[in-house]
Structure 1
């Protein structure tokens, strides 16, 4: 059983991968996508989105990171996959699931699910361009408008030589609206000989176990659930092994928020320094009432000094034992 961290565009960047994998329970990360058009990208683009390439392709806590590419042309996708591999990527993932209209208009992401033969050519070209020791994987949805071509899509990717497929159990038209249709993944195991990884709407250990039971998948990818509960993967792993687990209380989560803020001071433009923690608090407030209170306190603040003071004030009101 493995738990993967989803590649959430604009959210799960290198600093977030470092924070979440340090908590524990995560077995693999995928980067935000590198957009591929018609040219071979310079190394600096890959390093910017995946700085872990300069550290043996792993987060500071040692979790492997796969680099994700998004594009619709087999040749450029293959060339850039080869470059990523030469830079030290531990695996190359392919984004066939992004529902964003701006991406789909430029023949990227989930719009390609209506062209299984093109998916086959893209994966095949990448597989042939990348050393066999480096996995080539794909992330898809159930389909574009509906799930009627799911088996055709999975067969095309499988026969092209992919090493694994992650399936977000919703169509493009479903977007992120619940529920996730985990049960539809069960049908594809009979037509593949590679791992199928379930993704979508897992917010708790109970969701995790229902997802595995309905999908027939051993491995699961978590996205928003991990942002709302940073120790969710660790709790799932612990309880699955029969161990007692005490969920992290707010003071421990606040330390992660403060670490993200400190990183933002160093790496963000001054006018954007509060953006990352405001964004994360938007997820955390689903699980922690204190996150809502803190969000309300800082949502209109912009300067590092003002936000720092608000964080200090918030912490000062926590119980002394924390």
Structure 2
């Protein structure tokens, strides 16, 4: 007998790597996406929702609920990052309009009502700022105990930041929300604590042009997909598979961004890795820690601070991913997304 589907609420600020995370989940037969919560982050929330709807349309996916969430953080102005993800959040890609519409309920309501409908069954995956989830916990303080599991792409623990010298993007956009969420999970036992996928591990997930080539090959897309740092910004993929074509255009923008920041012609695929961990926590080795967020430091606001050894005399409230095998992850991603794209044609 096959294992029951894993029910998911996916909360995203779609984004290039969020896009690939969404495709990974759509390609995973064990994943049942109950709803997609959109939040402002990489781009404004209306554009995030449009990206989600348009990816679903391109993939001919079922009519999954896409809800509009927070337009601004809890207590600070919104910052977006079009320089990293492109003017629409999906790099050089221009997705066809799906004609689909956003949900009649907002993301906070969706979070609360879905976990109440399926107590102990839902895995939450957050790959953007934690604003929507913080608001949902305000509305339903029992939400951390109603979830089966929470996986978050966020934070930097023993690693430099990617937004300031000490901060990771998702947490830095809304530090108050991150703190509220981490605090709300205090007191949960081992196995129920959030799994945090921070930069320490996600910056080992380096996608290269060869991964894109292999992905196109797995999809049966022709001609061979070769992306290069020599490609001019106006160049667009001509490979035959529409999912691979748009994904390649998105990823190449992300690689250009990383190269411009002296990191090589690669793309850190933070969010797809967190999506894989949501389905298979054994993919990463974790360590328990008590995590808090600095809100007031002049130079360190938004920094995630992990107490690994109990200096604060507080019980752990998170399990932090500390190691994985990137090659195994990419083999899995290429197989899943490639076969899925091939099935769409």
Same fold (TM over 0.5): no
Q: TM-score, length-normalised on structure 2?
A: 0.32
Q: For the pair shown, which has the larger CA radius of gyration, 1 or 2?
A: 1
Which one has more relative contact order, counting CA pairs under 8 Å at least 6 apart?
A: 2
Structure 1 length normalisation: TM-score? 0.34
